[in-house]
């Protein structure tokens, strides 16, 4: 008994609510909600002699390790139910919170006049989380990486069966970084030139799972850092953003040869204001078939017409005046795929639509003259 009590009866710390809440907010999205392994719905708290509290969350596929300063009365470790703790800390007033590990893995939390005890689990049950590699990390600029993710993440496939499409491909070269994502119906490709990435020889391609990209996007939005450290080993990807480390299990398998599907001879094009196109698509899409979301784009002399019809809702047509001097063309696309692209470019400026014929993939690009960022979005047509 005594040995057991000694092993669990340590950790005792005081931490500021604001700092603790900030780190719990970062870590709680990694915690597995519907898990069959109870320990995975807990945070691991580890307090060290040097006044640091480290918080770890994992769902076995990915993990997040983050930390904040604390007054450490007794160093030690414990696990606390993540959702319950996060919801409770949010409700506490500003000020200091003391956390103390009691017998049988119970954890006492005191703040002001509140005194709460939560049922934890044995620290020994918490799975080991991979450590950031000692060598071989590459520094990636935060602003560029954030831009790559926001312009591709929506094109990642959510069909579990197509698991090599359940992530985006990051392509690093010494002076550029690019990201590609596709779900088989559309493909988003963005490249940022003029980078200076040290330690990259030739080309490094890494497939990053969708869930990890979502977490990374959140971390990048909440950091002051200008660059992050990226590393990988046989099984794991590592991203160090400020004081936080995100790990993700690698996706196995080969990403498709996307360069083969990039359109080469889409020689009919039209340029329209992004805002006008967005408005027209949104209006017309209200009357598209609910299942397919298909709308028709008709290009005629100096006019772009959008139309849709469904037996349930009715029909709608919208037109935009714009220079167009090629053969007339009618092509169908999924309206929500078109809107995804317009949202990704911030619905500003002009957009160029490029076509070959009604059966071939269409391509959309922002017409913004930004030489450093090349962004293209390829869409398979639909039969209407």
Question: What confidence tens digit (pLDDT) does each residue in 263-272 have?
Answer: 999 999 999 9
Question: What confidence tens digit (pLDDT) does each residue in 133-169 have?
Answer: 999 999 999 999 999 999 999 999 988 777 788 999 9
pLDDT at 327: 94
Work out the widest C-alpha separation in the chain, in whole angstroms. Answer: 88
Measured between alpha carbons, how far is 76 from 73 in angstroms, rounded to an integer?
A: 10
The DSSP result for 48-63, as a single string, is ETTTEEEEEEE-SSEE
Residue 97: pLDDT over 60:
yes
pLDDT confidence band for 78 (50 / 70 / 90): very high
Q: How many CA atoms lie within 13 A of 66 on its CB side?
A: 24
- The mean pLDDT of the chain is 93
pLDDT at 384: 77
pLDDT at 253: 85
pLDDT at 159: 83
For tokens 């006049």, what's the residue? 113
pLDDT at 275: 96
Measured between alpha carbons, how far is 346 from 253 in angstroms, rounded to an integer?
A: 33
Residue 26: pLDDT over 60:
yes
pLDDT at 108: 97
> How far, in Å, are 274, 302, 330, 342, 372 from residue 278 at the CA level?
6, 19, 19, 7, 25
Residue 1: pLDDT over 50:
no
Q: Where does residue 308 fall: left (phi above 0), alpha (psi -120 to 50 degrees), or beta otherwise?
A: beta
pLDDT confidence band for 8 (50 / 70 / 90): very low
Structure letter (DSSP) for residue 286: T
Q: What does the pLDDT average to over 254-259?
A: 91
């Amino acid at each position: 008994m005594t040995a057991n009590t000694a092993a669990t009866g340590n950790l005792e710390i005081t931490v500021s609510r604001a700092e603790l809440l900030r780190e719990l907010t970062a870590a709680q999205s990694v915690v597995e909600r519907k898990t069959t392994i109870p320990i995975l719905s807990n945070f691991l708290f580890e307090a060290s002699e040097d006044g640091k509290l480290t918080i770890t969350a994992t769902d076995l596929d990915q993990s997040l390790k983050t930390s904040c300063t604390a007054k450490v009365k007794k160093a030690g470790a414990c696990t606390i139910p993540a959702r319950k703790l996060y919801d409770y800390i949010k409700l506490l007033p500003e000020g200091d919170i003391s956390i103390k590990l009691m017998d049988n893995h119970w954890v006492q939390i005191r703040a002001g006049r509140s005194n709460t005890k939560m049922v934890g689990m044995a620290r020994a049950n918490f799975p080991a989380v991979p450590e950031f590699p000692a060598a071989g990390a590459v520094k990636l600029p935060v602003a560029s990486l954030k831009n790559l993710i926001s312009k591709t993440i929506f094109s990642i496939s959510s069909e579990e069966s197509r698991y090599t499409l359940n992530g985006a491909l990051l392509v690093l070269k010494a002076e550029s970084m690019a990201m590609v994502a596709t779900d088989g119906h559309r493909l988003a490709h963005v490249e940022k030139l003029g980078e200076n990435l040290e330690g990259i020889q030739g080309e490094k391609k890494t497939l990053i799972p969708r869930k990890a990209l979502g977490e990374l996007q959140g971390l990048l939005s909440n950091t002051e850092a200008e660059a992050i450290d990226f590393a990988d080993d046989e099984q794991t990807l590592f991203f160090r953003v400020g004081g936080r480390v995100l790990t993700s299990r690698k996706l196995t398998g080969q990403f498709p040869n996307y360069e083969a599907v990039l359109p080469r001879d889409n020689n009919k094009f039209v340029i329209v204001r992004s805002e006008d196109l967005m408005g027209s698509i949104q209006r017309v899409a209200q009357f598209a078939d609910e299942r397919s979301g298909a709308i028709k784009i008709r290009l005629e002399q100096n006019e772009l017409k959008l139309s849709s019809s469904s037996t349930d809702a009715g029909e709608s047509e919208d037109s935009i005046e714009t220079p167009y001097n090629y053969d007339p063309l009618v092509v169908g696309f999924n309206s929500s795929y078109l809107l995804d692209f317009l949202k990704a470019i911030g619905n500003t400026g002009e957009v160029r639509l490029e076509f070959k014929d009604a059966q071939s993939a269409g391509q959309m690009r922002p017409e913004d003259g930004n030489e450093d960022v090349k962004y293209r979005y390829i869409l398979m047509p639909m039969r209407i």
